[in-house]
Amino acid sequence: MDQGRIIKNTGMMRDAARKMEEKHFSDRAAEHVEFLPVEWRSKLSLDGDTVDSITPDKVRGLRDMLNSSAMDIMYYTSPLYRDEITKGLTQELNRLYSLFCSRNPDFEEKGGKVSIVSHSLGCVITFDIMTGWDPVRMYHQEQQALQEDPRWLSYEERHLLEQVHLTRQRLRELEDQLQGLEASMPLASPALKFKVENFFCMGSPLAVFLALRGIRPGNNGCQDHILPKSICQRLFNIFHPTDPVAYRLEPLILKHYSNIAPVQIHWCNTTNPTPYDQIRPTFINPIKETTSASDTESIPSPSTSPVLARRHYGESITNLGKASILGAASIGKGIGGILFSRFARSSSQASAVEGSVAEGEDKRPVDSQSSYGLSSLSQSSSTIIETALELEHRIDFELREGLVESRYWSAVTSHTAYWSSLDVALFLLTFMYKQQELPEVSEDNPDPV
């Protein structure tokens, strides 16, 4: 079941991307983006069938859905199974990359780039693989620090602690000898055999995991605060506003971004959209402009997105049926796909990413941010941002709610809607193909923000 789900989900994303390529990137014939599913879950044994054997038969369908979703979070937070999960995913990523390079020997020579699209818990697992985060090692370091201060221990406990200390000293000596023997061997290769250019997170709870690990907002707007560029050049956090699993990442870098709206993802048929890097920030709560310094301390939690009033903007995801039925309970299952994009050297200038409005449809706004219903940074409020730091690149990108979309139903379906969304497909391709400068926005379609 898991194997078929991720393959079908990736197939839906591939089909959506092909439509967007034909419509918006037909002039980039020398370049191509390929989507490959990374199926790793079914190869893991974990607890075998123990969970299935203890699951009651009543409402079996709902229980199976919970077992296949929430159980993955329990597995990953368990030190007993975490290593098995990370090793399984790492091996599958490296295997796919090696297989792809063997079938496309000129991929690396022509400057091919690798991006990873992860979904839900897969974002956390991939992040930990890339950064090498190991909670077991950190636990041992903390335990060692606590044991070095025996002031509150009894005599018997101190005596036992001394014995443990001597034993660890002996263990360190053996480890030093082992390291001496390994010094003559080649250095261990990185966990992944390739450099990650872009890391796209969809419906990701990564911000919650980072917050619980002690990550707090810093005093600079660099992505390196949570993910060094030496590991991954660009990080993107894509989410639907009603996705109950998704959280924002930007407030973990700069706290005041909890009051700055995420960037709105363009509709796939928006005419002459403003390039994402040129979209100016907008306030979620314009009242903040006149508040005192003491009032700004009530900014929402760094890892949560503030509750907003009902807004009418964005993509109406009406084709969620197949995605939600197909991918419901795919929390943590889908790492999405490994994206291989072949970038050829071209002297021609890229055309603007644009699309025509279908016949019979009303024309949508030229600029995606203009329909957000929020206050742009005006002259009076610009001093607030001038005195505060800004992000080097925006990270949070939000899909749009439909005009007739039920918020409660959307909360159920939105977590699995990314795979079939044309807006998401175009967004991915925009940054995958973004190797040449985009033409400037024409005077007929100025930036209204």
Give the span between the Cα atoms of 299 and 291, in whole angstroms: 12
Sheet containing strand 396-398, edge to edge, reads 32-36, 337-342, 113-119, 196-202, 232-239, 396-398, 263-264
Q: Which amino acid is at 374?
A: L
Q: Which of 120, 258, 305, 414 is catalytic?
A: 120
* Residue 186 token pair: 């080649």
Indicate if 442 belongs to the active site.
no
Angstrom distances, CA of residue 433 to CA of 170, 200, 341, 352: 55, 14, 8, 11
Tokens of 134: 């190991």
Q: Which two tokens stand for residue 368?
A: 């995606």
Please identify which residue in the block is written with the tokens 């956390």: 124
Cα(431)–Cα(83) distance, integer angstroms: 32
HSE value, Cβ hemisphere, 13 Å, CA-based, for 438 = 19
Q: Beta partners for 201? A: 118, 237
- The span from the CA of 260 to the CA of 41, in Å, is 37
| Tokens matching residue 21 | 């390529």
Contacts of 274 (CB under 8 A, 6+ apart): 366, 367, 368, 369, 441, 447, 449
Strand partners of residue 237: 201, 396
CA 178 to CA 83: how far, in whole Å? Answer: 23
Helix (H) or strand (E) holding 325: helix 320-327
Q: Which of 240, 256, 243, 249 is nearest to 199 (CA)?
A: 249
Q: Which residues pair with 35 in a beta bridge?
A: 339
The Cα 356–Cα 301 span in angstroms is 40
Residues with a catalytic annotation lie at 120
